[in-house]
């Protein structure tokens, strides 16, 4: 199936990753090797296009035991026209992961920002039918190949002011909160083996927003568990900001409360936004590494935490550099440095902070 489409991938600059001579990344023991020694896993988001870059592929092979598609596995990319699905992009990534001995996270079945444009005009019944078909078709297509599915992404939104803190998405407005258990139930039926996760951002910092977001996420998880919904994992995105407070004690309390619900925890999109730090790269990299150290030391102390996935390995691919969010740009226009490798694929202090955190982490059963 994939070979038939390979010419298109080649045209799109997505030739076989094996074409790239596997460069060796000299030096220290890789991050996933260190993680696996403690029953953890380390990985990165990736795109099919990025798999054409030999230096990046070498670093992925040296450091990662887990991959996730940064965008190719989302609804709007899989089904750009109603009823016409293509899995060529995510299959390409899944094949690289399998051939490289890496596990694959699925991201994400339902997310208000990745619904296809044609879904905006559907009425409630048609939208429910389209969402059901998408969840079933996609989870069935990847059956047996996904370690953990992000079934639902970012459904808690404090600013919408609902008593249950749910985000007023089209799915919520037209179908009510039941769209959430329905998605998990359909995903479970389509893929009995994958762990099913709820994934969200904004819980990590010791701010009023972070404390309220944690309450909202816990409320949703408790409601799902009490209703017998098949959710096993909380995905903590981990998009940190170097200028915001982080308190290890309150963070560990939150992780403990999630674990007490019988859930495991995966850090799913880890990076550190340095937009408020001075431009000088030395001190900036050190500040990013210090927050990385503090966050991972507190996080990995929780036995229910099972993996850490960075939202890219190299600064050159970071979504933060692409200005996806306007307030992510630095006022001095200096390039963001949020990830373990710099744009020239040199390991940064952040890489070493992640390595040290895995080395110091208490062991747990294998991921």
- Per CB under 6 A, residues contacting ligand G3I are 70-71, 74, 113-114, 153, 201, 237, 269, 319, 322, 324
The CB-of-66 to ligand G3I minimum distance in angstroms stands at 16
Distances from the Cα of 71 to the Cαs of 45, 107, 138, 196, 211, in angstroms? 9, 8, 14, 18, 29
Of residues 237 and 309, the one with the C-beta less far from ligand G3I: 237
The CB-of-367 to ligand G3I minimum distance in angstroms stands at 21
- Nearest Cα neighbor of 180 from 192, 163, 194, 166 is 166
The CB-of-55 to ligand G3I minimum distance in angstroms stands at 19
The CB-of-5 to ligand G3I minimum distance in angstroms stands at 16
The CB-of-112 to ligand G3I minimum distance in angstroms stands at 11
Of residues 169 and 237, the one with the C-beta less far from ligand G3I: 237
β-strand pairing of 239-241 with 233-236: unpaired
The CB-of-260 to ligand G3I minimum distance in angstroms stands at 26
366 burial type by CB count under 10 A (0-12 exposed, 13-18 middle, 19+ buried):
exposed
The total number of residues written for the chain in this structure: 367
The CB-of-173 to ligand G3I minimum distance in angstroms stands at 21
Q: In DSSP terms, which residues pair with 152 in a beta bridge?
A: 110, 198
What does 38-68 look like in DSSP terms, one character per residue? TT-EEEEEE-TGGGG-HHHHHHHHHH-SEEE
> Are residues 112 and 169 in contact, defined by beta-carbon separation less than 8 angstroms?
yes
Of residues 195 and 293, the one with the C-beta less far from ligand G3I: 195
**CA separation for the pair 115, 282 (Å, rounded):** 40
- Nearest Cα neighbor of 57 from 250, 337, 236, 314 is 314
In degrees rounded to 5, what are phi and psi of residue 197? -120, 150
Distances from the Cα of 112 to the Cαs of 7, 10, 75, 221, 364, in angstroms? 32, 31, 10, 19, 35
Of residues 73 and 349, the one with the C-beta less far from ligand G3I: 73
β-strand pairing of 66-69 with 41-46: parallel
Of residues 74 and 145, the one with the C-beta less far from ligand G3I: 74
The CB-of-199 to ligand G3I minimum distance in angstroms stands at 7
Q: Is the omega angle on the peptide bond into residue 108 within 30 degrees of 0, that is, cis?
A: yes
Of residues 251 and 270, the one with the C-beta less far from ligand G3I: 270
Of residues 270 and 295, the one with the C-beta less far from ligand G3I: 270
**CA separation for the pair 350, 237 (Å, rounded):** 17
Of residues 87 and 358, the one with the C-beta less far from ligand G3I: 87
């Amino acid at each position: 199936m994939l070979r038939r489409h390979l010419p298109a991938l080649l045209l799109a600059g997505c030739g076989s990753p094996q074409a790239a001579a596997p460069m060796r990344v000299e030096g220290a023991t890789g991050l996933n090797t260190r993680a696996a020694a403690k029953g953890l896993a380390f990985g990165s988001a990736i795109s099919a296009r990025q798999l054409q870059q030999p230096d990046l592929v070498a670093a992925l092979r040296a450091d990662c035991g887990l991959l996730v598609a940064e965008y190719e596995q989302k609804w709007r990319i899989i089904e750009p026209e109603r009823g016409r699905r293509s899995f060529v992009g995510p299959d390409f990534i899944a094949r690289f992961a399998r051939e490289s001995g890496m596990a694959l996270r699925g991201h994400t079945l339902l997310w208000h920002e990745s619904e296809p444009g044609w879904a905006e005009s559907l009425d409630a019944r048609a939208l429910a039918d389209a969402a059901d078909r998408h969840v079933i078709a996609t989870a069935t297509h990847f059956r047996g190949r996904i370690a953990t599915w992000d079934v639902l992404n970012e459904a808690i939104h404090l600013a919408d002011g609902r008593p249950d803190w749910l985000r007023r998405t089209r799915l919520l407005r037209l179908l009510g909160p039941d769209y959430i258990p329905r998605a998990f139930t359909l995903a479970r039926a389509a893929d009995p083996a994958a762990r099913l996760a709820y994934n969200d951002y904004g819980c990590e910092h010791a701010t009023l927003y972070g404390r309220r977001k944690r309450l909202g996420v816990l409320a949703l998880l408790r409601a799902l568990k009490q209703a017998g919904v098949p959710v096993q994992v909380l995905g903590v995105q981990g998009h940190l900001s170097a200028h915001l407070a982080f308190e290890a004690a309150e963070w560990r309390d939150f992780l403990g409360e999630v674990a007490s619900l019988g859930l495991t925890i995966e850090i799913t999109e880890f990076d550190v936004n340095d937009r408020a730090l001075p431009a000088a790269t030395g001190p900036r990299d050190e500040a990013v590494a210090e927050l990385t150290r503090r966050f991972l030391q507190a996080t990995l102390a929780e036995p229910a935490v099972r993996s850490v996935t960075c939202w890219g390995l190299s600064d050159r691919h970071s979504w933060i550099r692409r200005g996806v969010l306007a307030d992510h740009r630095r006022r001095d226009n200096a390039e963001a440095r949020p990830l373990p490798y710099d744009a020239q694929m040199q390991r940064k202090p952040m890489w070493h902070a992640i390595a040290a955190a895995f080395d110091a982490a208490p062991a747990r059963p294998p991921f």
